[in-house]
Amino acid sequence: MKYSDYINSVHFKHKSISYNLLTKNSSDNKKIKVTGQQAFNLIKPYCTSRIYEQMKAVIPLALYLVLFQFFVLQYPVQDFLALLGGLIAVILGLAVFMEGLSTGLMPFGTIIGDNLPKKASMILVLIIIGILGVGVTFAEPAIGALQAFGSSVDVNKAPYLYEILNNWTLPLVLMVGAGVGIAAIIGTIRFVKGWSLKPLIYITIAPVIILTIFAWFDPNLRSILGLAWDCGAVTTGPVTVPLVLSLGIGIANAAGKGDSSLSGFGVVTMASLFPIMAVLILALFVSFSISPEQIIESAKNMSNVVVTDQSILDQTPFVEIILGVRAILPLVIFLMFVLFIVLKSSLPNRLITIYGLVLSIIGMCIFNVGLTYGLGAIGTQAGSILPAAFMNIPISDVSPIYSEIVGFVIVIIFAFLLGFGATLAEPALNALGITVQNLTNGAFKKSMLMYSVSIGVATGISLGIAKLIFSIDLATLLLPLYAIGLILTFFSSEEFVNVGWDSAGVTTGPVTVPLVLAMGLGLGNAVSAIEGFGILSLASICPIIAVLTMGIIIQIKNKFAQNEDESDSIDPNLVTEKEL
């Protein structure tokens, strides 16, 4: 290189000082004093990167909904400022909450997971994990969505659904939590014993399906099915999955079984099946203790009496703050109890952990505000105007905009694209894709998994929308789909079963769930369907089928390729079955 080139490419001033000068009086490990400017330089990238991450998840989705509503449905966005504020609250709340989760809650999970098995008996460990399952369910951001949308159910059409969502919310969340707890216990035992997932799926699904059929034959209970099956999708969010996994893997490591590449899988599947069962049992219990007529009667009395008597605690910022604190605090207290009393150890880096815990509570409160005014509002709005594409509805002057068939096709395409885009953008799916690619030695490519899951979710959401519009019975869709899923499970290898069944839970994040729930409820009201639940449950089973099908295609392809190489004449299907 020429010296002139060198001079030209080096533009920056150099200065040297001896490190000796800096280390002269640094023997005392005092805290560093930071000036305002330095603190700002530290804090700015820290905040922006975290907020940007959530913006990437929220803004495209919101923009898609708003633009579709404006251009295709020709209906201007209502309450634009409140909506904008709500979405900002969602972004901020999620950013703060996720940071709190990783600096505050996760260290607890890791410490407990590493130390608990060494100091406590297996039974105690399992009990703690079970209680933790309840705690994390309360802390799950999306679970607030279920409670928030309860009031929109029509008591006369679906009395039990109304009753459970309005007067039994605490037992409902408790039951869902208990389901997650049992799932966590079974998942942990599975880690340690190295059980196969397949029989577990068969054993768990059998009672779920029996309960579903039982509820289906009771016309009053039929409306509860959508809620019950949706609860499964709601539970497997950003709090439950990492916390339960970190505990489970810690325990599996302590038992010497943690090295299996599949050890992380399966918990999500269990955690989405058991809550369904729990909610169905709760519904049965409610149906035995109170009759539909009583519910309708008391709901009438309620609406007559309580309207004037609204305390300040029921108003906007306060009710969200109470919900937020109530969501996180029990989990934190329980984790502290385990750490201090059972493990008798202390927190490393106490200041930062406390900061993280405070953040997670604040974030949850802000997110709850955003849930009501941002995601919930935008979803409800889009859902209630959606039928304007194919039928006459009072709120839109120009409806029906298109002929019935064209309008319906547009709505389905809208739902499909919504599901596809939202799923593809989910960071958890990307992570799962990489894991799966490594797990299958590249046979199942990352993009292949991402696309099959996304198409699955998209199909599920489209089916769900179609279910609402044509008021198809949910069970008649779900049961055959699960039957297909089970048959595919039977023919798939263990790896694909693990990946396939977990992929459904991974994709339902804290942004998609409330949005889709709200949209379903809004649409349900607009086309006067009995209830707007069920979309999420369909969005859970379809990706399972998609991934399992993809897995079987890959298996068969591999067999064919091998057979051609060996110029053997064995029937590929026979080989596949034998290997299983």
User: Contact positions toward other proteins, by CB under 8 A?
Assistant: 1, 6, 9-10, 12, 29-32, 34, 38-39, 41-43, 45-46, 99, 103, 349, 351-352, 355-356
**DSSP per-residue string spanning 358-427:** HHHHHHHHHHHHHIIIIIIHHHHHHHHHGGGGTS--TT-SS-S-S-HHHHHHHHHHHHHHHHHHHHHT-H
Cis preceding linkage at 400, omega within 30: yes
**Nearer Cβ to other proteins, position 187 or 363?**
363
Which helix H or strand E contains 101, and what residues bound it?
none
Q: How far is the CB of 48 from other proteins (least distance, A)?
A: 11
Cα–Cα dist 84/119, whole Å: 50
Cα–Cα dist 178/528, whole Å: 33
Q: How far is the CB of 113 from other proteins (least distance, A)?
A: 18
For residue 501, CA distances in Å to 269, 411, 447 come to 6, 28, 18
Which helix H or strand E contains 268, and what residues bound it?
helix 267-289
Q: How far is the CB of 135 from other proteins (least distance, A)?
A: 24
**Nearer Cβ to other proteins, position 42 or 59?**
42
Which helix H or strand E contains 52, and what residues bound it?
helix 36-67
Q: How far is the CB of 43 from other proteins (least distance, A)?
A: 6
Evaluate the CA torsion angle 275, 281, 285, 290 in order and state its sign.
positive
Query: Residue 427 — φ and ψ, nearest 5°?
Result: -60, -30
**Nearer Cβ to other proteins, position 12 or 217?**
12
In this structure, what token pair is assigned to residue 471? 């008021």
**DSSP per-residue string spanning 466-506:** HHHHTT--HHHHHHHHHHHHHHHHHHS-HHHHHHHHHHHHH
Least Cα distance to 457 among 411, 425, 492 occurs for 425
Evaluate the CA torsion angle 250, 255, 261, 264 in order and state its sign.
negative
**Nearer Cβ to other proteins, position 356 or 464?**
356
CB 211 within 8 A of CB 284: yes
**Nearer Cβ to other proteins, position 38 or 260?**
38
Q: How far is the CB of 34 from other proteins (least distance, A)?
A: 6
Q: How far is the CB of 547 from other proteins (least distance, A)?
A: 28
**Nearer Cβ to other proteins, position 39 or 59?**
39
| Residues in CB range of 306: below 8 A, 6 or more apart | none
Q: How far is the CB of 340 from other proteins (least distance, A)?
A: 22
Q: How far is the CB of 100 from other proteins (least distance, A)?
A: 10
Cα–Cα dist 109/250, whole Å: 9
CB 367 within 8 A of CB 510: yes
User: What angle do helix axes 474-491 and 494-506 make, rounded to 10 degrees?
Assistant: 150
**Nearer Cβ to other proteins, position 31 or 578?**
31
Q: How far is the CB of 525 from other proteins (least distance, A)?
A: 44
**Nearer Cβ to other proteins, position 41 or 261?**
41
Which helix H or strand E contains 195, and what residues bound it?
none
**Nearer Cβ to other proteins, position 29 or 310?**
29
**Nearer Cβ to other proteins, position 13 or 118?**
13
**Nearer Cβ to other proteins, position 7 or 123?**
7
**Nearer Cβ to other proteins, position 51 or 290?**
51
Check residue 31 and report its DSSP letter: P
Helix (DSSP H) and strand (DSSP E) numbers for the chain:
25, 0
Q: How far is the CB of 438 from other proteins (least distance, A)?
A: 16
**Nearer Cβ to other proteins, position 99 or 140?**
99
Q: How far is the CB of 36 from other proteins (least distance, A)?
A: 12
**Nearer Cβ to other proteins, position 24 or 30?**
30
**Nearer Cβ to other proteins, position 39 or 487?**
39
C-alpha radius of gyration, the chain, whole number: 26
Cα–Cα dist 84/9, whole Å: 47
CB 464 within 8 A of CB 520: yes
Q: How far is the CB of 42 from other proteins (least distance, A)?
A: 4
Tokens 């979309």 belong to which residue? 535
Q: How far is the CB of 13 from other proteins (least distance, A)?
A: 11
Q: How far is the CB of 46 from other proteins (least distance, A)?
A: 4
Q: How far is the CB of 103 from other proteins (least distance, A)?
A: 6
* Single-letter residue type at 69: Q
Query: 343-349: long-range contacts (C-beta < 8 A, 24 or more apart)?
Result: 343/111, 343/112, 343/115, 343/116, 343/119, 343/120, 345/111, 345/115, 347/107, 347/111, 348/107, 348/111, 349/107
